[in-house]
Structure 1
Amino acid sequence: MSQYDYLVVGAGLSGAVFANAARKAGKSVLVIDRRDHIAGNVYTEQVEGINVHRYGAHIFHTSMRDVWDYVNRFAEFNNYVNSPVANFRGQMYNMPFNMNTFARMWPGVVTPADARAKIAEQVAAENIGEPANLEEQALSLVGRDI
């Protein structure tokens, strides 16, 4: 007979949520992880009193009330809204780009077909056969303005 009802490999979000639910259901669970901490890629550590995201910033959002209530039992969340912008020729544009962005960037561009044509024109002007680096790859896909 095994010592545990479940073996959970990985102490990230999925593993932690499953392990918690299994324990609440009366099951025995062993959670293992190759890292020396829980929380996977959303692990946060204190450095001189400041929460530091070891693996890069993470943003949690949901429109599902039951999910929001569940996660708020375990962590306190800041009210953060991700609203990146791009500075193009001295003008600020919201990201991700959309037709409003393209119409503001390129006078006369008002339809998706217009935007595709403008991008294709810029890609052709770059004259990149086989991209040699990340910059050339980007230029060969979306042109210089984007």
Structure 2
Amino acid sequence: MSQYDYLVVGAGLSGAVFANAARRAGKSVLVIDRRDHIAGNVYTEDVEGIQVHRYGAHIFHTSMKDVWDYVNRFAEFNNYVNSPVANFRGSMYNMPFNMNTFAKMWPGVVT
């Protein structure tokens, strides 16, 4: 049986980043995962030329240039900013809802 410096259980984002950093530092790494692919819940698969999120859509957020540059070495990301809103009786409200949202929607009822 081979010896490894590290055993990484799970090939999601954290496991994959650690395994990559350890290998770049000259360490031997064994990565195991119960799934047959890397990337955990952010895994995408090609379906007729379209990248489909197998486990539901995910958005990667960072304002750190070094992190952005790092992740773009492995996959192509766009600079999408998720800013959902809801239209309630002609007024726009940011989502997700919080107590401030409800207070604006029903003044005097929610405090």
Q: Same fold (TM over 0.5)?
A: yes
Q: CA 1:70–1:105 in structure 2 vs 1: closer, same or farther (change >3 Å)?
A: same
Q: CA 1:8–1:99 in structure 2 vs 1: closer, same or farther (change >3 Å)?
A: closer
Higher strand share: 2
TM normalised by structure 2 equals 0.83
Q: Which moved more, 1:93-102 or 1:73-82?
A: 93-102
Q: CA 1:104–1:19 in structure 2 vs 1: closer, same or farther (change >3 Å)?
A: same
Distance 1:74 1:82 in 2: 22
Shift of 1:74: 1.0
Shift of 1:96: 2.9
**Whose RCO is larger (CA < 8 A, sep 6+)?**
2
Matched positions, count: 111
Q: 4+ runs of 1 displaced by more than 2 Å?
A: 89-92, 96-111
Deviation by residue 1:9-67 (Cα, 9 ceiling, x = unmatched): 10001111111111111111111100000000110111111111111111111122221
SS in 2 for 1:51: strand
Give the CA RMSD over aligned residues. 2.3
Distance 1:100 1:9 in 2: 41
Q: Gapped runs of 5+ residues in structure 1? A: 112-146
Distance 1:89 1:8 in 2: 51
Which residue number in structure 2 is paired with residue 82 of structure 1?
A: 82
Shift of 1:76: 0.9
Distance 1:40 1:81 in 2: 22
Which residue number in structure 2 is paired with residue 9 of structure 1?
A: 9
Deviation by residue 1:118-137 (Cα, 9 ceiling, x = unmatched): xxxxxxxxxxxxxxxxxxxx
Shift of 1:92: 2.8
Q: Which has the larger radius of gyration?
A: 1
Which residue number in structure 2 is paired with residue 52 of structure 1?
A: 52
Higher helix share: 1
After TM superposition, the structure 1 = structure 2 runs for residues 90-109 of structure 1, keeping only pairs within 5 Å, are 90-97=90-97, 101-102=101-102, 104-107=104-107
Q: Which moved more, 1:91-100 or 1:14-23?
A: 91-100
Distance 1:5 1:110 in 2: 57
